[in-house]
Amino acid sequence: MHRPVGPPEADSDPAGERGEGPEEKERASGIEMPGRGGAAGHDAPSPSQDSAAVGQVQVQALPLFKQNFLASRGARAVSYRDPEIGGGEGRGVPPRLPGIPSRSRDGGQRQESLLPLELSSVSRRLDGPPTETEARRRRLKHYELQCTHTFEHMHIGGHMVAKSREILRGAGITHVINCVRFEYDNYFQDEMKYLGLYLQDWGQEDIYCVFYDAFDFIEAAREGGGKVFIHCSQGVSRSAAITIAYIMWRTDRHVEVVLDQMKQVRAVVEPNIGFYFQLIAWDKRRKTIMDKCNIYRAAPLSKLMSSIVVAKNIPKTGDPNEQHCLDPRGAFIVHCPQRLYVWIGDQCPEAFLRAARKFALQLGKYENAPKATEVRQGEEDSELASALGFPPNDASGLVRQRDEFTPEFERYHRALAPKLASGDEPPLPPMAGVRRNIGRRAQSDVLSLLGEDRHGRQPPPGPSVFGVPP
List active site positions.
232
Q: Cα torsion for 262, 266, 272, 275, to the nearest 10°?
A: -30
DSSP-derived secondary structure for 274-312:
HHHHHHHHHHHHHHSPPSS-EEEEEEES-STTTT-EEEE
Count CB atoms within 10 A of the CB of residue 165.
13
DSSP state of 26: H
Of 279, 274, 273, the residue nearest 243 (C-alpha) = 279
Q: Report the alpha-carbon distance of residue 377 to residue 397 in Å, rounded.
A: 13
Q: Report the alpha-carbon distance of residue 465 to residue 452 in Å, rounded.
A: 13
**CA distances in angstroms from 373 to 88, 336, 381, 400, 449, listed in the order given:** 95, 11, 12, 21, 24
Who contacts 317 (Cβ-Cβ below 8 Å, separation ≥6)? none
3-state SS, one letter per residue, for 89-123: CCCCCCCCCCCEEEECCCCCEEEECCCCEECCCCC
Q: Are strands 193-196 and 340-344 parallel, antiparallel or unpaired?
A: unpaired
Cβ proximity of 232 and 261 under 8 Å: no
Cβ proximity of 328 and 401 under 8 Å: yes
DSSP state of 460: P
3-class secondary structure, 48:
helix
Q: Report the alpha-carbon distance of residue 310 to residue 446 in Å, rounded.
A: 11
Phi/psi at 296 (nearest 5 deg)? -125, 160
